[in-house]
Structure 1
Amino acid sequence: MHTWRSILAVATVGVLLAGCGGGTDEPETPAAAGPWSFKSGNGETVTAEKTPTRIIAHAGEAAALMSFGIKPVGIYADEPVKTDANLKNLDLTGITVLGEEWGKIDVEKAASLAPDLIVGDWWPVEKAYSGLEEGVDEKSKKLTELAPIVGVTQGESIADLAEGYEALAKSLGAKVDDPKIAENKQRYEKAVTAFKAATAAKPNLTAAGMSPTDEKVYVANPKYAPELLDFQRWGLMVMNPATPDADFPYWETLSWENADKYQPDLILWDGRAYKDTLNAEFGKKQPTWFEVKAAKAGAVVSWPAYWLHTYGDFATELEKLTTAINGADENIGS
């Protein structure tokens, strides 16, 4: 089974992902100490005599570690690092890029870096770490032969994911209470408070995570989208699709003839694939898109789908969403 990465890549050929990275100069990676251990997302505890320092990480996970001052020696991404939402604003000087396409990792080059730890999210549906799911090149999976692999679960909350990488960074020697690091966390907490206030002021506002493509319209299932679950907890009524795809429950797939099955007041547009400014252009290609009343009204805001890993990025995206909620009409979809 292919992952959501490969499915969306096929559905949106030629379109670069949109998003917002974050970070400038990062502190040096702390010196090694030991012994070291960390309970990974798959439930297993990985141990080492010394704290790992030569780390290879998947893109978003690398951004998370770098936000705490842990600089990996190598990264692998699912797209060009210049457009990756997690990486595009980071200084990658001195970091070896091992792949810029989902499922393709240069393991020989990775071996030359002599890593002592691999870091990638654990995906419970696929039961695999990022970039190592079913459907990737078999030779890419040999990355796990170079060093132990750990990561935080992509589960029910981005807040939990950020906290998990904070714990991993701390185990690797990061001073997570450093004032510069704490600033992003405080900004995130402030953004959550503002988001809750916005949703409380509009208790009847409905929203839906949607990813329109040339062939189909995908409606996100919050059960498998931790950002959307957070939004629901914080007061936004994000719709749960009635019939998620049986073989891939991240989405309910609609034909363009049925694009108007759901009528939210606000569309949360999949920000990995299209900027929300393309809403009008999509309506020209697929007129039935405008049968979704929110699309016709331009009530569309980018949803940071599946890529968030840091407090700073989450704060930025929450601020955008809060602005959209404050300006939204609760009666568009009715």
Structure 2
Amino acid sequence: MSKTDVRHPSRSGLTRRGLLGAGGALAVGALISACGGGGGDKGGAASSGGGAWTFTDDRGTKIELKARPKRVVGYVGTAAALYDFGVDRQLVGVFGPTKLKDGRPDPQAGNLPVDRLEIIGNAFGEFNIEKYAALRPELLVDNMFVENELFYVPLESKDKIYALAPSVAVSTGAVALPKPIERTAALAGALGADLKSAKVTAAKDRFEKAAASLRAAAAANKSLKVLAASASPDLFYASSPNKNTDLIYFKELGVELIVPEKPGQNGYFEELSWENAGKYRADVIMLDSRTQALQPKDLGGKPSWKDLPAVKAGQVVPWQPEPRFSYEGCAPLLEALAASIKSAKKTG
């Protein structure tokens, strides 16, 4: 990975490496019914008995197995979301940002028991096919920000990887946030998770309350301009609320997000030189908080950063451009943004 590639979900437009990237959630009961019967309708899965297992993913690919898969390997974000919904012992391996340099779990690993899982790659471009094969995978699960491309699966070795096990893709680009959560829940249900559990229903209730809180905060602060961005040593990235799944949803809830004028290929973000970082005047900056992106403490040497109105006003808030697509993973993000918008002031 280059120094300028900070794995921005909204920066997947130029290359796959650069990607990542109001509507309500379906009722849990509806998800159960979507997962429960056999059928070939989109997202349908066979019954959880000892019979055949099917699931149609967001590429339109229908996976058909003799039995429900018991050995699942996944992109860390996908696996973490499935874990939140109750998929546990089926998960045997992960790839993507899983552990920090000091050995602690990466925030993107969520609640995953990372020490129990085989890590077959911890950064972009890392995917140990030998380790993957040794896990005897029955299913590969992943997020899909760009059509027909599984996130963090190296393009140069994808054919070898796909030959070892069928794969399921959850569409996580250019759709509003509730959709990938619903689809991840549907997959979790198909894998045997109890979507009626107290934990899942409580998380869904918290998510819905958080969405209502964000809608109220946005309505009370209608004139507030918000920019979602990411920082690298050479570039400042302005992210588009027309492509990033969380930003699409925030916009639907009434947040006044700035739309970049010239997003690159695939439309996820606009690249700005640091000299032009002030192109869009924002009252609040949501700054990519992932470990691979530069943080405010890293940007003190860039005068253009210090001159931004939101920075001067102390209105820079953390942003997770690649949310964990579960109610449990996303509710705190909505709550934090609602609190930030509620307390923020116009900068001019």
Tell me if both proteins adopt one fold, taking TM over 0.5 as the criterion. yes
Residue 293 (structure 2) pairs with residue 303 (structure 1): no
Q: Deviations over 1:13-36 (max 9, x none)?
A: xxxxxxxxxxxxxxxxx9863321
Number of residue-to-residue matches in the alignment: 305
- Cα distance, 1:7 vs. partner? 2.4
Asked if the contact 1:32/1:52 (under 8 Å) is kept, the reply is: no
Match of 1:60 in 2: 77
Gaps of 5+ in 2: 12-46
Contact 2:227 2:286 in 1 (8 A): yes
Match 1:169 to one of 179, 188, 192: 188
- Percent identity over the alignment? 30
Amino acid at match of 2:325: H
Superposed, 1:11-160 pairs within 5 Å as: 33-71=50-88, 72-78=91-97, 80=99, 82-87=104-109, 89-125=111-147, 127-134=148-155, 138-139=156-157, 142-155=160-173, 156-160=175-179
Equivalent residue, structure 1, for 2:42 = none
CA deviation map 1:217-250 (0-9, x unaligned):
11001222111111000010111101112x3532
SS in 1 for 2:310: helix
The DSSP-based 3-state class of the residue aligned with 1:184 is helix
Distance in 2 (CA, whole Å) between partners of 1:216 and 1:115 is: 39
Which segments of 5 or more consecutive residues in structure 1 lack a partner in the other structure?
A: 12-29
Q: Decide whether the 8 Å contact of 1:270 with 1:303 is kept in 2.
A: yes
**1:187-266 equivalence runs, <5 A:** 187-245=206-264, 247=265, 249-266=267-284
- Quote the residue 2:337 is aligned against: 321
Report the counterpart of residue 8 of structure 1 in structure 2. Answer: 6
- Tell me what 1:26 maps to: none
User: How far off its partner does 1:58 sit?
Assistant: 0.7
Shift in alpha-carbon separation, 1:174–1:5, aligned structure 2, 3 A: farther
Alpha-carbon distance in structure 2 between the residues aligned to 1:266 and 1:236: 11
Contact 1:52 1:116 in 2 (8 A): yes
Q: Deviations over 1:295-319 (max 9, x none)?
A: 1111111111123222112111111
Q: Is the 8 A contact 1:260 1:288 kept in 2?
A: yes
- CA shift for structure 1 position 142: 2.1
Q: What do the CA deviations read for 1:67-97 (whole angstroms, capped 9, x no partner)?
A: 1221201111245363422315432343211
Contact 1:188 1:314 survives alignment (8 Å): yes
Distance 1:241 1:273, change over 3 A: farther
Contact 2:286 2:318 in 1 (8 A): yes
Q: In the aligned structure 2, how far is the partner of 1:147 from the partner of 1:275?
A: 32
TM-score between both structures, scaled by the size of structure 2 = 0.80
Aligned equivalents of 2:131, 2:92: Cα separation in 1: 11
Distance 1:281 1:154, change over 3 A: closer
1:294 is matched with which residue?
Answer: 310
TM-aligned CA distance change 1:303 to 1:254, over 3 Å: same
Partner AA of 2:118 in structure 1: T
Q: Tell me what 2:285 maps to.
A: 267
Q: What's the C-alpha RMSD, in Å, of the aligned pairs?
A: 2.6
Tell me: CA distance 1:260–1:94, structure 2 relative to 1, closer, same or farther (3 Å): closer
Amino acid at match of 2:80: A
**8 Å contact from structure 1 (residues 59, 77) kept in 2:** yes
Residues 119-171 of structure 1 show CA distances to partners (whole Å, capped at 9, x for unaligned) of 0112335x31122254xxx3465221111000210131221111111000111
Cα deviation, residue 8, structure 1 = 1.7
2:39 match: none
Query: Does the aligned pair in 2 maintain the 1:6–1:102 contact within 8 Å?
Result: no
Distance of 1:185 and 1:37 partners within structure 2: 26
CA contact (8 A) 1:105 1:140 kept: no
SS in structure 1 at match of 2:108: coil
Q: Displacement of 1:280 after TM fit? A: 6.1
- The DSSP-based 3-state class of the residue aligned with 2:55 is strand
Deviations 1:94-121 (A, max 9, x none): 3211111212111112112211111011
- Residue deviations 1:247-290 (CA, integer Å, cap 9, x gap): 353211111221111001111111114799x53652x3011113
CA, structure 1 residues 36+193, in 2 after alignment: closer, same or farther (shift >3 Å)? same
> Cα distance 1:205–1:288, how it changes in 2: closer, same or farther (>3 A)?
same
